[in-house]
Amino acid sequence: MRSFAFVLFFVVGLFGSCTATPTSTAAPVDHSAWDKLLKKHVNDKGFVNYSAFKKDYDELKKYLDMLSASAPNNKWTKEEQLAYWINAYNAFTVQLILDHYPGISTIKDIGSKIKIPFVSDAWTVNFIVIGGKKMNLNDIEHGIIRKKFDEPRIHFALVCAAKSCPPLRNEAFTADQLDKQLDEQGRDFMNDKAKNNIRKDKAELSKILTWYGGDFTKKMPMVEWVNKYSTVKIDSKTPISYLDYDWDLNGK
């Protein structure tokens, strides 16, 4: 979930995740079906043709059903598990949008009219079943990915269908390419002026980098994260502010 961040972290900090991580005896899955759909319906800027994607809803559902029956287990490598959960988050998000499209202009239109973090919004809709467990997007992001994997770069890869989110990669994440893919996502995200406007004298950053600042700064200071991926470098004296978040659908 990419809003109400401080309340969100307070709730997570107090109570943690109440959903046990699902598992199965399945072998690592093949994400080629998802890869094919992404290449077909997502452009190189990460914008999604939801109208066309909806025509392939049955193909998406077949992939999601495969994920539902093939939860990771400890025999999978860390990379296989993380690629699975990133792809699952993004694919189930696309399903959630398609289930309401074209009647919405933002993911925040989904769910109860009264939006309460971790209670009644799009990220708390229990429409996902994996390993026989009913789940929602928050369970995947906060209860599994952020809890199990010490990897801040996931915030460059998880996409909640908003224009200010990182671009939806038009290929599936895979274990053998995961490190490279996450770095590429970081570069694409950091150098997109609609998401991060970085100059030597001033850095206007995405709110993702403050909402999840703690995940990043456990590894290194935020300035180093910016300089790792931005073509324009800053220093500790560069003023940093945060851009408004555009929740409009990342459609084309």
List pLDDT tens digits, range 197-227: 999 999 999 999 999 999 999 999 999 999 9
31-79 pLDDT, tens per residue?
999 999 999 999 999 999 999 999 999 999 999 999 999 999 999 999 9
2: Cα separation from own chain's centroid = 9
180 pLDDT tier (thresholds 50, 70, 90): very high
What is the predicted pLDDT for the residue at 119?
Answer: 72
DSSP state of 48: B
**Location of structure tokens 């009913």:** 134
What is the predicted pLDDT for the residue at 203?
Answer: 98
Residue 195 has pLDDT above 60, yes or no: yes
DSSP string, 210-248: HHTHHHHHTTS-HHHHHHHH-SS---TTS-EEEPPP--B
117 pLDDT tier (thresholds 50, 70, 90): low
173 pLDDT tier (thresholds 50, 70, 90): very high
Residue 12 has pLDDT above 70, yes or no: no
Stretch 245-251: mean pLDDT:
98
pTM for the full model? 0.93
Residues 54, 99 contacting (CB under 8 angstroms): no
What mean pLDDT, rounded, does the chain reach?
92
7 pLDDT tier (thresholds 50, 70, 90): very low
